Structure 1
């Protein structure tokens, strides 16, 4: 009997950028006991939760977004906060698209609550409201959209976003879902994957490759703000030699259009 294909869960991933002096992106190492992509270097991210869908966010966010788009952006900022301690927000008294973001003082004040928010022991909405900030959804640039292949036991409908990191805010891994946090040049991260220094799963590698085409944060933000995002749903097929592989659409603009199926088997089994 054929098993039903699970519906993909709405998820968000955020590529936090800085210049040091060239373009770097924040990556975190997933805990080895996590049941999906354990031990891999990834961008901060995860599934949207019920609170991300609350109508209460209407007064606590900057940016004209609604529905699933608003939910995905809220989830991206929440996940970045939980996994790295970086918060993309503005003070309520200085809110508005394009206005300066809060600095290290606010991030440090919120940091002790990261674990409780992650475990759903504390409301993220209440934390934001009590600290008189609003989430800066407008700072996120939609960069990619990947849906997990249908043969996977766990499936995600994942939106990738770019965002400049607020000045003076420091990244620190959470110690629960992630065991390290590093700033790395996209090309260097690809080299680490190629030579076995790090595990980097297929969607992450493809988005690193696309990001590596920009040399600075401002250049990446400018380019991808105006670039259309093509949804990627990898499908199983064969390459030119008849080997099993995943195919992705060429119009998505990634550095390759096929991936050997054996390369994703370790992720698919988890």
Structure 2
């Protein structure tokens, strides 16, 4: 068991996006395989996401939940080439044809930190579709870890004609997969998950369709989760708040730590 540092490392604000679509056998979620050389969750199957940046806060007008939503939109564009944005003043999410032109000019520069998302939206007369980013979960890395994140999870319907694909840098592979299938493949040793990803896949797997998942998430109360390791008669277990609605409060440790 790692010893808790005398002064816990501050948790960095971050956003994660569960991009979902309706598949032939039920709801599917887009996931990427983190590059194995990355320190945090290297080689793991995860949802796209990353840290909140100052430009995200600027677009949101402050530090509230919308800054995390915009960070999720930016990270989804960087990591999978999906842009959850619409023409300024209204209308639907941009289509694949419009996206291709935007991606060719801006995606690499956004990913490298050379161009902020605000500049892309201004140049293309777009606005972020934050209304489609439904709050799904809130997880904070345990105090004992040397790298910590304060992560807001969002559920978003994938635009039907935009094609999601991994970036080849932070992630080395990607897949549309049913939540239950991802868990089963991890249990069989075919994939690596981390504890928050497993729990959120299980929660998503309760729903048969995107519409059902979005409606349930809009109606649910998000409870902050910071897992803690406890000693039980059966051995070490992870505990989380029961009211967070993950089907329990004490769980067997099935997955390796993220770091």
Give the one of 72, 87, 111 matched to 1:91.
Answer: 87
Q: Is the 8 A contact 1:24 1:186 kept in 2?
A: yes
Give the one of 127, 133, 141 matched to 2:120.
Answer: 127
What is the CA–CA distance in structure 2 between the aligned matches of 1:161 and 1:50, rounded to whole Å? Answer: 19
What is the CA–CA distance in structure 1 between the aligned matches of 2:232 and 2:30, rounded to whole Å? Answer: 33
Match of 1:61 in 2: none
Query: What does 1:241-256 correspond to in 2, within 5 Å?
Result: 241=234, 243-256=235-248
Query: What does 1:1-270 correspond to in 2, within 5 Å?
Result: 2-21=5-24, 22-54=26-58, 56-57=59-60, 67-93=63-89, 95=90, 99-112=91-104, 113-241=106-234, 243-260=235-252, 263-265=255-257, 267=258, 270=259
What is the CA–CA distance in structure 1 between the aligned matches of 2:128 and 2:151, rounded to whole Å? Answer: 20
What is the CA–CA distance in structure 2 between the aligned matches of 1:261 and 1:210, rounded to whole Å? Answer: 17
Q: Is the 8 A contact 1:57 1:125 kept in 2?
A: no
Q: Is the 8 A contact 1:206 1:255 kept in 2?
A: no
Q: Is the 8 A contact 2:8 2:144 kept in 1?
A: yes
What is the CA–CA distance in structure 2 between the aligned matches of 1:190 and 1:16, rounded to whole Å? Answer: 17
What is the CA–CA distance in structure 1 between the aligned matches of 2:44 and 2:132, rounded to whole Å? Answer: 27
How many matched pairs? 254
Scaled by the length of structure 2, the TM-score of the pair is 0.93
Q: Which runs of 5+ in 2 are unaligned?
A: none
**Closer/same/farther in 2, CA of residues 2 and 8 from structure 1, 3 Å limit:** closer
Q: Is the 8 A contact 1:239 1:258 kept in 2?
A: no
What is the CA–CA distance in structure 2 between the aligned matches of 1:239 and 1:71, rounded to whole Å? Answer: 39
Q: Is the 8 A contact 2:60 2:67 kept in 1?
A: no
Shift of 1:255: 3.6
What is the CA–CA distance in structure 1 between the aligned matches of 2:214 and 2:233, rounded to whole Å? Answer: 36
What is the CA–CA distance in structure 2 between the aligned matches of 1:190 and 1:256, rounded to whole Å? Answer: 17
Q: Is the 8 A contact 2:36 2:42 kept in 1?
A: yes
Q: Is the 8 A contact 2:193 2:255 kept in 1?
A: no
What is the CA–CA distance in structure 2 between the aligned matches of 1:30 and 1:231, rounded to whole Å? Answer: 25
Q: Is the 8 A contact 2:5 2:144 kept in 1?
A: no
Q: Secondary structure at the match of 2:185?
A: helix
**Closer/same/farther in 2, CA of residues 4 and 262 from structure 1, 3 Å limit:** farther
- Deviation track 1:33-82 (CA, whole Å, cap 9, x = no partner) reads 1110001000000111121111x555xxxxxxx53211101101101110
Q: Is the 8 A contact 2:192 2:255 kept in 1?
A: no
What is the CA–CA distance in structure 2 between the aligned matches of 1:240 and 1:181, rounded to whole Å? Answer: 39
What is the CA–CA distance in structure 2 between the aligned matches of 1:181 and 1:2, rounded to whole Å? Answer: 35
What is the CA–CA distance in structure 1 between the aligned matches of 2:184 and 2:247, rounded to whole Å? Answer: 14
Scaled by the length of structure 1, the TM-score of the pair is 0.89
Q: Is the 8 A contact 1:115 1:174 kept in 2?
A: no
